[in-house]
A and B are shown apart, each in its own frame.
Chain A
């Protein structure tokens, strides 16, 4: 699925298209790679989104994420600062379908703030830290662009 992407060193990595991979059960992740001219041995270890590919003697960390995992990871990394005002932004374009808080509310870290529907999936946006909701920019029923400010926590 084009929905799944690979990331190496924080950069999106496009998959080589002209190679085939053949696996054998019980080989502890050994894989034979081949194109029309060359075949080589590689090794892959991991599960879920974290993989280590050993290629030409070099261990390469590859993050493989579905669209949903990517969104969650970006939301997490967007948290950054743990004090001071935090702008909560949309990590993907979508439609705001629910706002669960009001200005002045005290929220815990991880509390659901609002829900954005994108690619037919409902994605809850959670609070990056405990604090008070200062301003809410998002409105139910309005589309938001990726990176748009949704609300601010103090």
Chain B
């Protein structure tokens, strides 16, 4: 079987690479492996000791161990990843998102090893990694930025005076210049709270990024978080593939994304696309990229940051455009030009993604650990599931607790919301807490159904979630009582069977089941 597939794939003359190493894990590694397989490219997975039996390792054509469980010793260990690529004879490295995907030093090490980096040049990663420098270049390119500082915030007692001198009004947001993922971010209500908040944000940023430099932006509230998807090749072509609405957030991190945004009118869309093109024009990039904006209640947009990598939420854009963004990343990296089909891509319908995390939404979305028990994913028309884990496997505590991304596609937004509700109803995960209870609540909220929500939805409307309603309570009691009765009946049956059929195969089976069945005493 494997031989015939390899033979078939070697016949494909149009594949950009023969072998690609995926420097990532979990759902995104699985996602990239799938495209490699479709393109006839051999995939090489990397794994830490915690992931030796992980889904992405099992799905890849080859796998290379890169170190012990902690990410800092494995998935973030640049040398180990480059060495694994060399060892396996990979022609290119796809970094996925997170980990080393925006690390300029890694990109440089990959290039120095004579391997293609599926991403922008190291200089671009350096330029965009400094969010403050990116603010300055966006402003110079004529793109609106959130009012605030263009230079680092002074530390200590000088901070408030500096904010005052620069005319920053409060409430304001502290952000890390090297930032991302919500780390180093703090909302500051009044100038006299700035010094203390800045000290704690700087510590967090230093720990997360090795750089405690901060800046200050005025708070845009209410705000929607909207990003524009781009693809750029090495020949100067740029495709603008629509926007994504990412305003359902907790801890400044996205939980649900959709495209198109219900807040974006054709006029706003034209402005966002123009802003994205201008920001993209400030750097040399050839890859998938995203330009992020805040949109205020009056429809004004403000540049936030640009990421020159694949985003977690890229799948909704794939659903409405019909494009495979990972395939295009690989083709671009191999020097191909964007096709007319890509440059003229017209989104069709509406797509929504819901991220399923191992965390407890009733306790502030605190991450949880454990072993996945039951695992039932949705299916059927217009449903796509990108998962990185299987039922009956432990969730490694060392990494991001993203379990799966449920995506739906339908003709219009109401149909997509109905489809997402149906898909969530088909989903069941056992063994640990997930945010599925929150997601099921969300699709029934007026603010979400109408599309009129903003980044304050979770703190304002969810909090720690609603009380358990009377019907759910009585149904849960019913199920648990039935389960216990069933357990008792099973034991009685097993006992009787083993007495009656001593020595028979059925008796042996019954005894084994009785022993295997977990009991708590």
**Which A residues lie at the B interface, using CB under 8 A?**
4, 6, 8-9, 13-17, 19, 21, 23, 27-31, 33, 40-51, 53-60, 62, 64
Judge if B388 is at the interface, Cβ distance under 8 Å: no
List, in ascending order, chain B residues with CB within 8 A of A44's CB: 479-480, 483
Q: What are the residues of chain B within 8 A of A21 when measuring CB–CB?
A: 478-479, 482
* A and B contact pairs by CB, cutoff 8 A, 22 listed: A6-B477, A13-B473, A13-B474, A13-B477, A14-B474, A16-B477, A19-B478, A21-B482, A28-B392, A28-B430, A31-B482, A49-B520, A50-B520, A51-B480, A53-B476, A53-B483, A57-B434, A57-B435, A58-B362, A59-B437, A62-B477, A64-B481
B518 on interface, CB distance cutoff 8 Å = yes
> Which of B427, B468, B486 has the most CB atoms of chain A within a 10 A radius of its CB?
B468
A19, A30, A60: the one contacting B468 at CB < 8 Å is A60
Tell me if B518 and A59 are in contact (CB < 8 A). no
Whether B475 pairs with A16 at a CB distance below 8 angstroms is yes
Which residues of A sit under 8 angstroms from B517, Cβ to Cβ?
47
- Determine which of A29, A49, A55 lies in contact with B430 in the assembled complex, contact meaning CB atoms within 8 Å: A29
The chain A residue sitting closest to B440, CB to CB, is A57
* CB of A28, distance to nearest CB on chain B (Å): 4
Task: Check B426 for interface membership: any CB of A closer than 8 A.
Answer: yes
Q: What's the minimum C-beta distance from A35 to chain B, rounded to whole angstroms? A: 9
Query: Are B468 and A9 in touch, CB under 8 angstroms?
Result: yes
Instruction: Give how many A-B residue pairs fall within 8 Å (CB-CB).
Output: 138
A152 to B484, CA, bound (A): 37
Q: Is B373 an interface residue (CB 8 A)?
A: yes
A82 to B518, CA, bound (A): 33
Query: Are A29 and B373 closer than 8 Å at their CB atoms?
Result: yes
Closest to B376 in A: A30
Question: Could you tell me the distance in whole angstroms from the C-beta of B212 to the nearest C-beta in chain A?
Answer: 39
Q: Is the CB of B374 within 8 A of A15?
A: no
Q: In the complex, are the beta carbons of A46 and B374 less than 8 A apart? A: no
Nearest CB of A to B482, in Å: 5
Task: Judge whether A41 and B426 touch: CB under 8 Å.
Answer: yes
Q: 7 smallest A-B Cβ distances: which pairs?
A: A57-B436, A62-B480, A58-B437, A6-B477, A13-B477, A57-B437, A28-B374
**B479:A30 contact, CB within 8 angstroms:** no
Q: Can you name 18 extra interface pairs (CB under 8 A) apart from A54-B430, A57-B436? A: A6-B477, A8-B477, A13-B477, A14-B477, A15-B477, A16-B477, A17-B478, A21-B478, A28-B430, A29-B374, A47-B517, A47-B518, A47-B519, A51-B483, A57-B438, A57-B441, A60-B472, A60-B476
B520 touches A23 (CB 8 A): no
CA distance A46 to B391 in the complex (A): 17
Closest Cβ–Cβ distance, residue A47 to chain B (whole Å): 5
Q: Is the CB of A31 within 8 A of B479?
A: yes
Is B433 engaged at the interface, CB distance under 8 Å to the other chain?
A: yes
A55 lies within 8 A of B472 (CB): yes
Chain A residues with CB below 8 A from B438, complex form: 57
Given A23-B486, A43-B430, A47-B519, do A62 and B437 touch, yes or no (CB 8 Å)?
Answer: no
Compute how far the CA of A31 lies from the CA of B481 in the bound complex, rounded to whole angstroms. 13
Assembly CA distance A42 to B427 (angstroms): 9
Q: In the complex the two chains form, is A15's CB within 8 Å of B520's CB?
A: no
B477 and A48 contacting across the interface, CB-CB below 8 Å:
no
Closest to A28 in B: B374
- When distances are taken between beta carbons in the complex, the residues of chain A under 8 Å from B479 are 21, 31, 33, 42, 44, 51, 53, 55, 62
Give A42 to B475 CA distance when docked, in angstroms. 10
Return chain B residues, CB-CB under 8 Å to A29. 373-374, 430, 483
The verdict on B415 contacting chain A, using a C-beta distance below 8 Å, is no
Give the nearest-CB partner of B436 in chain A. A57
Contact of A41 among B425, B483, B485, B518 (CB under 8 A): B425
Q: 1/0 per residue B222-240: CB within 8 Å of A?
A: 0000000000000000000
Are B428 and A4 touching (Cβ within 8 A)? no
Q: Is the CB of B436 within 8 A of A16?
A: no
Contact indicator A16/B474 (Cβ below 8 Å): yes
Contacts of A54 in B (CB 8 A): 428-430
Q: In the complex, what's the smallest C-beta–C-beta distance from A42 to chain B, in angstroms? A: 6
Who on chain A is nearest to B479 by CB?
A53
Asked whether B199 is an interface residue with its Cβ less than 8 Å from the other chain, the reply is no
B477 touches A57 (CB 8 A): no
* B4 at the binding interface (Cβ < 8 Å): no
User: Does B424 contact A6, Cβ atoms closer than 8 Å?
Assistant: no
Alpha-carbon distance between A4 and B468 when the two chains are bound, in angstroms: 22
